[in-house]
Amino acid sequence: MASHRRPKQPGRARVTVLTATAAAAVALSAQGAHADPQASKQDVKSKVDKLYEEAEQATEKYNGAKEKQDKLDKQVSDLQDKVARGQEELNKLRNSLGSMATAQYRTGSIDPSLQLLLSSDPDSYLERASTLDQLTTKQAETLRQIAGKQRTLKQERQEAADKLADLESTRKALGDKKKEIQGKLSDAQELLNTLSAKEKAEVTGEDKAQEGKDAADRANRSGGSRTDPGGSGKPVPESQRAGGALGAAQGKIGSPYVWGATGPNSFDCSGLTSWAYSQAGVTLPRMSQDQANAGTRIYDQGSLKPGDLVIFYGDLHHVGLYAGNGQVLHAPKPGANVRYEAMGNMPFQFGVRVG
Catalytic center residues: 269, 318, 330
One-letter amino acid of 293: N
Tens of pLDDT, residue by residue over 42-97, are 888 888 888 888 888 888 888 888 888 888 788 778 877 877 777 777 677 666 65
**Edge-to-edge strand order for the sheet containing 295-298?**
295-298, 348-354, 309-312, 318-324, 327-330, 339-342
Return the pLDDT at 223: 47
Does the structure show a pLDDT above 50 at 30? Answer: no
Cα–Cα nearest to 57, from 241, 321, 313? 313
CA dihedral 249, 252, 253, 256 (to 10 degrees): -120
Among left, alpha and beta (phi > 0; psi -120 to 50; other), residue 330 is: beta
CB 181 within 8 A of CB 58: yes
Q: 318: part of which helix (H) or strand (E)?
A: strand 318-324
Instruction: Calculate mean pLDDT across residues 246-275.
Output: 94
More confident residue, 12 or 151: 151
Return the pLDDT at 160: 76
Does the structure show a pLDDT above 80 at 267? Answer: yes
Give per-residue burial for 248-264: e unless 16+ CB within 10 Å, then b. bbbebeebebbbbbbbe
CB 301 within 8 A of CB 326: yes
Return the pLDDT at 253: 94
Instruction: Calculate mean pLDDT across residues 129-154.
Output: 63
Tens of pLDDT, residue by residue over 323-347, are 999 999 999 988 789 999 999 999 9
One-letter amino acid of 54: E
Tens of pLDDT, residue by residue over 6-29, are 555 555 544 444 444 444 444 444
CA dihedral 159, 165, 168, 169 (to 10 degrees): -130
Does the structure show a pLDDT above 80 at 216? Answer: no
Does the structure show a pLDDT above 50 at 123? Answer: yes
Among left, alpha and beta (phi > 0; psi -120 to 50; other), residue 255 is: beta
Return the pLDDT at 333: 87
Instruction: Calculate mean pLDDT across residues 108-124.
Output: 54
pLDDT class of 32 with cuts at 50, 70, 90 = very low
More confident residue, 335 or 348: 348
Give the burial class of 66: count Cβ atoms within 10 A of its Cβ; 0-12 exposed, 13-18 middle, 19 or more buried. middle
Tens of pLDDT, residue by residue over 223-235, are 434 333 333 444 4
DSSP 262: B
Cα–Cα nearest to 49, from 313, 350, 305, 323? 313
Return the pLDDT at 29: 43
pLDDT class of 37 with cuts at 50, 70, 90 = low
Tens of pLDDT, residue by residue over 61-71, are 888 888 888 88
- Percent pLDDT > 70 in the chain is 63
- Percent pLDDT > 90 in the chain is 30
In whole angstroms, give the CA distance from residue 64 to residue 43. Answer: 32
CB 246 within 8 A of CB 306: yes
More confident residue, 191 or 11: 191
pLDDT class of 250 with cuts at 50, 70, 90 = very high
Q: Coil, strand or helix: which one is 50?
A: helix
Cα–Cα distances (Å) from 191 to 44, 184, 186, 188, in that order, read 6, 11, 9, 5
CA dihedral sign, ordered 257, 249, 60, 195: negative
Does the structure show a pLDDT above 70 at 245? Answer: yes
